[in-house]
């Protein structure tokens, strides 16, 4: 994240809090085998797009009017995701892109 939104990391976690990772059990196996799902963007690209959205959403500069264009930014990012998925040949994306 710091690559796309410069700053410094501040760990504000509570060392006495329960660690949720021990409770999480995330696996994409079912999504892959049952739905034919696979990730469209690599981790780096997903972080870049997420940080870009948040940067614009939190822009408080005097010339910024973030709120009106956030829906446009969101729609543009969704379309980019769909087009990238279509380029990968994912069936759901072929339908999504052809319906636009």
pLDDT digits (tens, 9 = 90+) for 43-64: 999 999 999 999 888 887 666 5
Q: Whole-structure pTM over 0.85, yes or no?
A: no
pLDDT digits (tens, 9 = 90+) for 13-23: 888 888 777 77
Average pLDDT value for residue range 38-47: 93
pLDDT of 68 higher than 60: no
b/e per residue 33-54 (b: at least 16 CB within 10 A): eeeeeeebbeeeeeebeeeeee
Average pLDDT value for residue range 22-44: 82
DSSP the chain: -TTTS-S-------TTS--GGGT-----HHHHHHH----SS-HHHHHHHHHHHHHHHT---TT--HHHHHHHHHHHHHHHHHHHHHHTT-HHHHHHHHT-
């Amino acid at each position: 994240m710091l690559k796309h939104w410069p700053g410094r990391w501040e760990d504000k976690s509570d060392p006495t809090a329960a660690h949720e990772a021990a409770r999480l059990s995330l696996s994409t196996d079912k999504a892959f085998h049952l739905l034919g799902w696979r990730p469209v963007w690599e981790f780096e690209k997903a972080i870049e797009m997420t940080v870009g959205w948040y940067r614009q959403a939190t822009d408080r500069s005097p010339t910024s009017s973030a709120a009106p264009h956030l829906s446009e930014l969101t729609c543009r990012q969704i379309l980019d995701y769909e087009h990238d998925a279509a380029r990968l040949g994912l069936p759901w994306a072929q339908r999504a892109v052809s319906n636009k």
